Amino acid sequence: MTDTVRLVSLAVATPEHVITQSQAAEASARLFANRFEDFRHLARVFDSAGIEKRHAARPLAWFEEPHGWQDRMEAYAEAAGGLFVETATSALRRAGLKPSDVDCIVTVSSTGFTTPSLDAQLARRVGFRADIERVPVFGLGCAAGVSGFAIASRLARSRPGAVVLFVSVELCTLAFRLDELTRPNIIATAIFGDGAAACVLRAGGDGLAQVESTGEHLFPDTLDIMGWKIDDGGFGIVLAQSLPPFAEKELGPAVAGILARNGLKTEDIGRFICHPGGMKVLAAMESALSLVPGTLDHERAVLAEYGNMSSPTVLFVLERVIRAGLPERAAMIAMGPGFSASCVTLRRPV
């Protein structure tokens, strides 16, 4: 069908600085062990997180100094801007398009902000038209890779033939806090990294995948599971210990409900493409979706190589699944602040 939205291209990128897990563990011990009584107990997460390295917007030494809002947002504007340009131009080149061909751009990020938004600041540098429609989205967190993709696909469907560019940029490491002597901060130090991804979507034509359906589920009374607390020092991570068991109990029915609203059942899905929030979360997702343990292999590989980059991480997984061969039907799933779950089903292109 000509009005079927297609994923035309996909590109991913990471900052130049690399921090190995052993380097992160050593630096954290140096910075926290003598100030935080529970650190030695919590430090085991560096070994159990399943992460070998991650990329960062700044070199390791930067994180060993105190930083406030100005430092963090200046670093965000510079690094996020570079990743935005790199992924957007790469995705457009792979689609055989020019920046001036883009009619609408959806940008998601929850780890920093600029005003005007990144898309406006970089419009001339990239080469967007003056009449481009811009949709910057903040606050969806880890779920934004799927939720933002869904927003972009619905915009593409509403305007057949229009080129919609979706960009996801997250610099999680910039939220690292020397002053936060808390369990969530130590865990965040062990699992989060930086990255970006961009997709071109358009109704009609050829593509890597067909977008079949979208849906979300907002769980009531769950605001304390994940998010930011914001103070003079910057963002501070909110991350409840209850997340893995919550996901194991609640994700299955939520996804089943989203699929049912689109005339589908869980058994119709040939491959779930999941946001790898962490090793325990992946195990919980496999249980919730009745998958054989270890099924989410691309998710574990991305987590090991890049850490949890928040919203773009699921798109790194999608890239690998497409490269390996998309099944007849797949479902992208991510959970994030709200607490919420987002789902997009994809079909193999015909």
Residue ranges covered by each domain of the chain:
5-203, 209-347
Specify the pLDDT at position 205: 83
Phi (first) and psi of residue 315, to 5 degrees: -75, -30
Neighbours of 250 (CB within 10 A): 18
Q: In a structure prediction context, what are the per-residue pLDDT tens digits for the chain, which is 350 residues long?
A: 457 999 999 999 999 999 999 999 999 989 888 888 888 888 888 999 899 999 999 999 999 999 989 999 999 999 999 999 999 999 999 999 999 999 999 999 999 999 999 999 999 999 999 999 999 999 999 999 999 999 999 999 999 899 999 999 999 999 998 888 888 888 889 999 999 999 999 998 889 999 999 999 999 988 888 888 888 887 878 877 788 888 899 999 999 999 999 999 999 999 999 999 999 999 999 999 999 999 999 999 999 999 999 999 999 999 999 999 999 999 999 999 989 999 999 999 87
Specify the pLDDT at position 37: 83
Query: How far apart are the C-alpha atoms of 336 and 200, rounded to whole Å?
Result: 23
CB 14 within 8 A of CB 306: yes
Amino acid (one-letter) located at 200: V
Listed residue (41, 40, 47) closest to 20, CA to CA? 47
Neighbours of 16 (CB within 10 A): 10
Query: How far apart are the C-alpha atoms of 283 and 45, rounded to whole Å?
Result: 16
What does CATH list as the number for 209-347? 3.40.47.10
Residue with tokens 């560096």: 46
Q: In this structure, what token pair is assigned to residue 314?
A: 């699921």
Q: Does domain 5-203 have CATH number 3.10.129.10?
A: no
Cα–Cα distances (Å) from 203 to 1, 157, 158, 200, 304, in that order, read 9, 6, 9, 11, 35
CB 299 within 8 A of CB 279: no
Specify the pLDDT at position 132: 96
Write out the H or E segment, with its range, that includes residue 20: strand 17-20
Write out the H or E segment, with its range, that includes residue 159: none
Listed residue (160, 95, 87, 74) closest to 126, CA to CA? 87
Q: Outline where the chain has alpha helix (H).
A: 21-32, 39-42, 45-48, 69-94, 118-121, 123-126, 144-158, 183-191, 243-261, 279-288, 297-306, 313-324
Whether 172 is a known active-site residue: answer: no
Tell me, yes or no, if the two domains 5-203 and 209-347 fold the same way: yes
Catalytic residue among 142, 172, 199, 274: 142
231: CB partners within 8 A, 6+ apart? none
156: CB partners within 8 A, 6+ apart? 5, 104, 162, 164, 201, 202, 203, 211
